[in-house]
Structure 1
Amino acid sequence: MSLAAPVSSPPAPAPDAAVAARPRYRASIAYGVVALIALVWMPLRTPDGVTRFRLSTSTDFFAIPTFDVPAAAAVWVLVLVAVGLAAYSVWATRAGRRTGMWLPVVFGVALLLAFLTFAGAGRATVIPLTSIATGTLFLATPLIFGALSGVVCERVGIVNIAIEGQLLAGAFLAAVVGSLTASAYMGLIAAPIAGALVGTLLVFFAVRYQVNQIIVGVVLNVLVVGLTSFLFSTVLSEDPSTWNARQSLPVLPIPVLSQIPVIGPILFRQTLLVYLMYVIVAALQVYLFRSRWGLRVRAVGEHPKAADTVGIDVNRTRVRNAILGSAVAGLGGAFFTVASGLAFGKEMTGGRGFIALAAMILGRWSPKGAVAAALLFGFADNLRTVLGTIGSSVPPQLLLMTPYIVTILAVAGFAGRVRAPAAEGVPYVK
């Protein structure tokens, strides 16, 4: 009689584990489709001639000469680089390798340069790359604030669909307070208060009464749109010189740094709102992933019961951070009025709160990732101005659609495999 133990076959993997182990080609397919469209559309239609680029501005320490690029050859090279990166993405996905952030960044830059070269081919107009980058950062500012608001709120488990309303409320209160005090800086101080008030309503219903957070966010967006439109049509329109006079934040160039070619005009020749954005992005990136506060925030968003077990007050943490995130979105609303030197107008945010949500998802709930995604959308918004300046033949209707088309493509494909915080949108009852 044999005493040897029977040899058993290893257990079959669970169905969920088998599905998770499969390579996901969604991002690779998106890269391939976009690269193929670029290959078919741009190189074969690029006219002969050169495209002229300029990097310097009149206030730089020294001037970088305007340079010419052979348009057809440059477009071919840049598009083929994008095709090669798409093929590499397929290979890396099949091999189970992570590509990192460098691939979408290089892919996007290659296609953007190819498109600018294609649009300016054979034209006498010079394409100002530094001015394009400056405009991109400026237009991305409210998207960055909105995306950061989403990161802070959703990392703690609160779904903040109300970013659009918080931006609009911030724009409204900034315009009114700035007009009454004749000070754009007072309007800048008032903007986050408006966002925080909207955030207070969000957490009041979502945390105290466990109402569906998406429904609450949608209702708050409608409420803010209706309330600001009513006040605009009555109070602001009847006496605009008192309630809705234009106030503008001045540009504050940082000495020496603002005169460095290329990076100086882009980063260091901005308004106070943009400089505040630098500080908030850096602080959130560090504190969210390198501090006790950030660990508590992420613990509440991932596993609130475990966080409660170690003594963290889950609902209080959610309330505080959701109001903080809403205040960040309200501060971004000041972009539309006092930072741009404009009076308040009905629904002037134009859906940018929802684009900010897309930037947050594309950035994978990370401050630096959200900034990169918001800059992409900011460039798409700035593109219509650029193409109009150089006299491009691209239909204006397509240019108006560009930011939203880019948003859909980014979230549908380039986001790849992303996972929201596990307890996002789930009320916690102790």
Structure 2
Amino acid sequence: MSQDTFKKALAVGRPPNVVKNFPNSQALIVSGKVVDRAMRAKGQCMTIAANGRNIFVIEGALRAAQKASAAIIIEIARSEATYCPTTLWNVARRVDYLCNKLGITVPVAVHADHYFMKKWEDVAEAKAEIPSVFDSGVTSIAIDASHMTDDLNLLGNLAVSPVIPAWAGYETEIGEIKGEFGLSSPVEAKYLIQGLNAHSLCPDWIALNNGTTHGIEASGEGIQVELTAEIHEALKPYGTSGAQHGTSGNDSARLREIAAKTATTKANVATALQMISWGVKVNDFGNAIMDGDKFAKVPGQGVEDALWDEMVAYADANGIKGGNYKKLNLVFERRWLGQSESVRDRMAGAVQDFVYDLLVNVFNAKDTAPIARDLILEAGSYDLGLKAERIEDPAEWTEEKIKAQAAAIDTDKGPHGNFDD
């Protein structure tokens, strides 16, 4: 890539909220639409949406993307702000800082993941709060109303749509992530996307319950590729790509199938990256390896060994086990930042190596960065517009008819419970 090409993309490719927050930045922070379209243009590929629970994960993922010349997404979920130093309101600042520090030139989208509305009363709060998320520099959002019934999911998406910028990346979701229970169906997916299309909304991504769990996938079942492909085929006229949640721990062969056989362009990875940054021993798929009832750490990798012992002691004293080790991010990031430069570098470097392998050898995302930059230059804008025109009749998707159609859908949502976002 020539410096001239990069400068031209930088001049037109950054959305207005990014320009306002970072007026002198040399970071190519773009809409999530740009990243999705780049994956679609290359075909049979997806990129990582790295959950930046701590700053070492963000740095490692950005370094990997630069090395692979891959467009990438850095994200954080709304719920993660309760146990991570990265939040919806500082994630863009962290990304911008690291891009400038490291000389990152690949396009990067900053995604607010799992902005949940678990009951209808949450909609009013969402309408008030979402503008502040974009004010901070975020360029993409996932509206997760999947905890509600199908009609309220659709109506909730419609209710908050006016406060989501038209240029921004937009993800929606059906089916809470429950593993083998309550698997999503083509009928309910099409219902949601049709209803949105009738109101001139075209989600860039849809997340499904297609067999995964949040955290480390260890069941051996994992992603159901054929089900995913069937749902994506049903949504083809509407232009919506797939977002794969619960990617950590799924074996590489299955992830290659998802990239090759479905319309998935975004794969969320969180837990594996966190563990790798700390130096926890993992297998090739990112599954943490246990030593008895505790995580096994590789001596001399990740955080300093003495600091790891402190982390374990803190976890034991506070009843923190297994997947809840994620709660150590907020407590300990300051301590990690206080380590020597060489230790900080190896923490980010381990994430870089893992993410680079995913991007190049599993997700097939290598060299999608120049495709994304070309899309920006062809459009001459940060706004790539909708992928599909309205084809549904709005008169058939009034609130009354939305409720009637939802009542006719017969699907198994699986067991009730507080499933993790």
TM-score tier (shorter): under 0.3
Higher percent of residues as strand:
2
Q: TM-score, normalised by structure 1?
A: 0.22
Q: Which is higher, the Rg of structure 1 or of structure 2?
A: 1
Higher helix proportion, which one? 1
